Structure 1
Amino acid sequence: MTEIIDYGRFAERLAGPRPRWDLLRAFQDEWGYTVPADADPWPKWSETEHRAYVRSLHEGWTGEEEDPFKGVDRSLPIPKALDEWWDLPFNSFTYSARLYWTNPEYPPTLRPDPSGYGVAGALPEPNPFVEPGGDLRLCCFMAEYEYCNEWAYLAAEAGHDDPRVFVSLDEDGWALQARSLSEFFVLLAAVRLPSHFGWSVQLNDDDFADGTPPRERIEAAYRPMGFQNWRELGADTTLFGGPDVIVRHDTGMADFSVEISGRTWDALAATARTLGWTWDEETVEPPHKDAEPE
């Protein structure tokens, strides 16, 4: 990795005009992801193991075969960007899904889910996203591994080419997660890939020198990457960028308040010095060379 990439300028790349999937491909390449030679893509029209298990339980209880599309409104179109993403030949999710710890829903299923499988409800009324009297349903296309959070677009925006993405929150209903589906998949890659392919460390606020809150140091030295905060399992995480490094700071309930991922050892070490963390080799996770986590 001879070229230094400044993720402090990532917001400009995110906002700039370019073919829809170029940024996702470039980001994956920058962190060293390549499609495994022997990998088969996750079939678009397939149930996850967990959903198939729940359906089999239901059929065992009732003795009746359940409609696998019971939770789908077949009258709603599927956004073009979602189908494009599934079919990308470099899609790190479909070829290396274990990097992500999420389950896809295809075709997207409604929230509230008529089948009873999905967890989240509809948008509350009133809300800032849909006009009064509008369609409060959402279409879930991705969920956290155990469905603690679900990501969806508005049923009212199903006909859009690249609709907004929302995330379900236990206490607050739904929050905006990304300005478009394509942005969401770049964000998802930015959350998952650097900690696997980069030099990484996970820290808490009291790991930093002199008691200065790390957020002050982070904001002084690094720039936001331009994403909405990542919301998953109680986390509320802002992504910051610098030369060859991504710094995540959480103000929610993540296991660690700070996660630093560098494309190189030098980038991680430089960030540690900048933020006032005393280097501890035992806490640093080196890059994984393949696309399958242990």
Structure 2
Amino acid sequence: MAEIIDYGMFAERLKAAPNRWDVLREFHEEWGYAVQPGAPRWDRWTEDEHKAYVRALHGGSEDDRLEGVDPALPIPAALDEWWELPFNSFTHDAQYYETNPVYPPTVRPDPSGYGAAGSLQVGSGLVPPDADQRVCVFMAENQYCNEWGYLAAEAHEPDPRVLVSVSDDEWALQARSISEFFLQLAVQRLPHRLGWSVEVDADDVIDGDLDDLVARIAERMPELGFEPWAELQQDAIVYGGPDVLVFVPDRVQYYISLAGRTPQAVVAQGERLGLKLEEHYLYGPGED
């Protein structure tokens, strides 16, 4: 990793990119991900184990697998493109992600009763009042605390916006497109699994407290250019620096984390932010 990647320039890089798949491929390469020869691949049509278990508990049959799917709605091209990407770390190493795919996407509210979230909240402003208010879910957090989907009203678009369920009856904008969502998901997951990372608390802050640290991060480091990542009842913003990313949730009592392509990048960024970090405290690639 001789070349330093300045993630402080990531927002400009995102704006200039002709498509998100190129950036997603580059991001995989920058963090050292490569599909292993002969690695099994997740079949998009495979029903997730949890849904199959719930269906069996209720005496459902194999014919019920597609309950909740509206066959009249097209599946956006970007979703199928993502499944076929040869470098896709999810389809080859899904354990990195802690999410369940939903394919084909199922609508919310879910007539089968399985999906956790409802339709769009009244007055969301995301679609006109007379438009289809349903959401088509294609990915969910492992415990279904959050679901991600596109608007049924935009299902005909090749790469529609992505929403996230932030409660049983509320949705928020998560990404400007499906392809950007999957790039954002990789940013959230891969650096902590493939790089060197550390979670910091008030004891690591040399000057001030966690609030002071958050202020310094926002002042000195650019955001990556995404919508805040909404998951597990908190929004997180990612900031970029040389070979390093800093993840700041809006509820800082949980954690602030740094992840770098090298341990030296994490320690150096910590010093610039007024943190006392040592390399031997960092988690390395593959460590939990």
- TM-score (structure 2 length as normaliser): 0.95
Q: Distance in 1 between matches of 2:14 and 2:188?
A: 15
Residue matched to 2:240: 241
Shift of 1:122: 0.3
Q: Distance in 2 between matches of 1:122 and 1:254?
A: 31
Unaligned runs of 5+ in 2: none
Cα 1:123–1:5 shift into 2, 3 Å = same
Residue 102 of structure 1, aligned match among 99, 112, 129: 99
One-letter amino acid of the counterpart of residue 271, structure 1: Q
One-letter amino acid of the counterpart of residue 157, structure 2: H
Alignment check: 8 A CA contact 1:233 1:254 kept: no
One-letter amino acid of the counterpart of residue 228, structure 1: E
Instruction: State the Cα deviation string for residues 133-184 of structure 1 (Å, max 9, x = none).
Output: 2211000000000100000000000000100000001277011000000000
Residue 73 of structure 2, aligned match among 73, 76, 83: 76
Q: Secondary structure at the match of 1:239?
A: strand
Matched, 1:183 2:180: yes
Residue matched to 2:206: 209
Cα 1:253–1:264 shift into 2, 3 Å = closer
Alignment check: 8 A CA contact 2:160 2:177 kept: yes
Aligned-residue identity in percent: 53
Shift of 1:17: 3.5
One-letter amino acid of the counterpart of residue 50, structure 2: H
Shift of 1:205: 4.5
One-letter amino acid of the counterpart of residue 275, structure 1: L
- Between the two proteins, the alignment pairs up a number of residues equal to 286
Q: Secondary structure at the match of 1:259?
A: strand
Alignment check: 8 A CA contact 1:234 1:253 kept: no
Unaligned runs of 5+ in 1: none
Correspondence list, 1:101-250, <5 A: 101-170=98-167, 173-205=170-202, 207-212=204-209, 213-250=212-249
Q: Secondary structure at the match of 2:145?
A: coil
Q: Secondary structure at the match of 1:152?
A: strand
Q: Distance in 2 between matches of 1:95 and 1:43?
A: 10
Q: Distance in 2 between matches of 1:85 and 1:137?
A: 23
More displaced stretch, 246-255 vs 88-97: 246-255
Q: Secondary structure at the match of 2:73?
A: coil
Residue 276 of structure 1, aligned match among 255, 274, 277: 274
Cα RMSD, aligned residues only: 1.7
- TM-score (structure 1 length as normaliser): 0.93
